[in-house]
Amino acid sequence: MSVGSELTGLTIAQARDLLDAKEFSAVELTQAHLERIERLEPALKCHIEITPDVALAQATAADRAIGDGDQSPLTGIPTSLKDVLCTVDSHTTAGSQILKGYRSAYDATVVSKLRSAGAVFVGKGNTDEFAMGSSTENSSFFPTHNPWDIDRVPGGSSGGPAAAVAAAEAMFGLGSDTGGSIRQPAGFCGVVGLKPTYGRVSRFGLIAFASSLDQIGPFTRTVEDAAIVLEAIAGHDSKDSTSSPRDVPSFRGSLRTDLKGVRIGVAEEYSVSGMEAGVETAVANAIEQLALLGAEIVPVSLPHTRYALSTYYITAPAEASANLARFDGVRFGHSVDAPTIKEMYERTRGEGFGSEVKRRIMLGTYALSSGYYDAYYVKAQKVRTLIKQDFDRAFEQVDVIVAPTSPTTAFRIGDRIDDPYQMYLADVFTIPANMAGIPGISVPGGFSNDMPVGLQFLGQSFDEATLLAVAHAYEQSQPWVTMTPALQ
């Protein structure tokens, strides 16, 4: 097989079989992706940093391992890592000028696991600054463009790795999801995006945005590939006190192609005014398809979902205010000389942080301040409990819940950048899962005005196996997984 587009168009599962059969080498597979990156990056800007030397060294080692009989699922497979994941052999900036040029002294746990699994790191994916955004326009370096229409956003905050997978610059990517930052860009870019249960994957080495909400997960072309990557990165980590000690099952082994006996919930709260007509139609068609596959469609109620967005925008900024206090110009990152330490703090943070990060720090500091903590933050945590209880009751009746990933398809670059409220609404359907700590997955669910529509499934805590099984059955019954952007 010749090196070229036929290599970059493979799934992880397909590439694994062909690598093991010596149809091509890991170096050839990596070179094909690096060549595609070189060709497409000027238009798409998926990566803050491209790492060809690292990638080719890893690919060479992968070929040696394959020659010695290593058949690990990710050996020799190219990936894009969101630039909030610490890596020792490339920069980690979190999309911010305050960390421009920063190199971590250690790897994130998920990065270490991928190294051990033989994966190949082609670059650090672009992100909204400190993962705060829904479009990747808040990156302090440059916006990323959607491969389906370069005038549109790829979603955010993990827009870089999402677009890289959609454009076949990488075979999978890792992102982080605090309020939808994996699922929403997956929906906008027409790929699979999985947010595992909070605690399923270690957060050690993830530059924190909101510690009680953040979770790391994969972007892939297929649900099967998502299952493969989740098995590689999941599991307990003594370096992360919130990681779960639960065993990691064979997610790939749970996949199925029919839904007989599966109960799928539909919540009226996920149908809101202002939804794009094409999105509504695509989701309605998907629900009909799920029934044809044998699923029982059950109405469920999630009454406190309406408060999820406002609850999130108290909780997340409050936690961000505390987490980002460490970026002060003293220990690492950007620093500005000043006559007093107070002025040094102010000037460093004033220059280093962008407007959206400053907005959220100020909101969070206000919510945590004396006299307002009980009125805002404490009350938000009480509402968060009610949101979780709504899901618990719903899952007594159903196995998974189906919903749109986002109310619209990808919007045009610049359309919402000056309207934070409209920007925040892009995550209205994804935020509840983070508030409840449950897993969610977005899969391609059709098209509206020639742009991908994301279909979201939500599952019970630590039941990613059922979630992936349902998503796989739907995916395999539809043509969407075979459709790719017509990039030249």
What residues act catalytically?
Answer: 82, 157, 181
Contact 76, 118 (CB under 8 A): yes
**325 φ, ψ to 5°?**
-65, -25
Contact 418, 137 (CB under 8 A): no
The tokens for 194 are: 């999985």
The per-residue b/e assignment along 430-468, b for 16 or more CB within 10 angstroms, e otherwise, is bbbbbbbbbbbbbbbbbbbeebbbbbbbbbbbbbbbbbb
In Å, how far from its chain's centre is CA 45? 17
Strands 192-195 and 440-448: antiparallel
The tokens for 329 are: 């110009």
CA–CA gap between residue 369 and residue 381 (Å, rounded):
16
Which of 443, 478, 479, 488 lies closest to 190, judged by CA? Answer: 443
The per-residue b/e assignment along 284-309, b for 16 or more CB within 10 angstroms, e otherwise, is eebbebbeebebeeeebebebbebbb
**334 φ, ψ to 5°?**
-60, 140
Ranges assigned E (strand) in 357-450: 400-404, 440-448
The tokens for 482 are: 């075979």
The tokens for 112 are: 């270490």
Residue type, 68: D
CA–CA gap between residue 87 and residue 112 (Å, rounded):
9
Residue type, 86: C
CA–CA gap between residue 182 and residue 163 (Å, rounded):
11
Helix axes 159-166, 26-44, angle to 10 degrees: 120
Q: Sheet harboring 47-50: ordered strands across?
A: 47-50, 120-125, 78-82, 172-176, 216-220, 192-195, 440-448, 451-459, 400-404, 263-267, 296-300
CA–CA gap between residue 406 and residue 422 (Å, rounded):
12
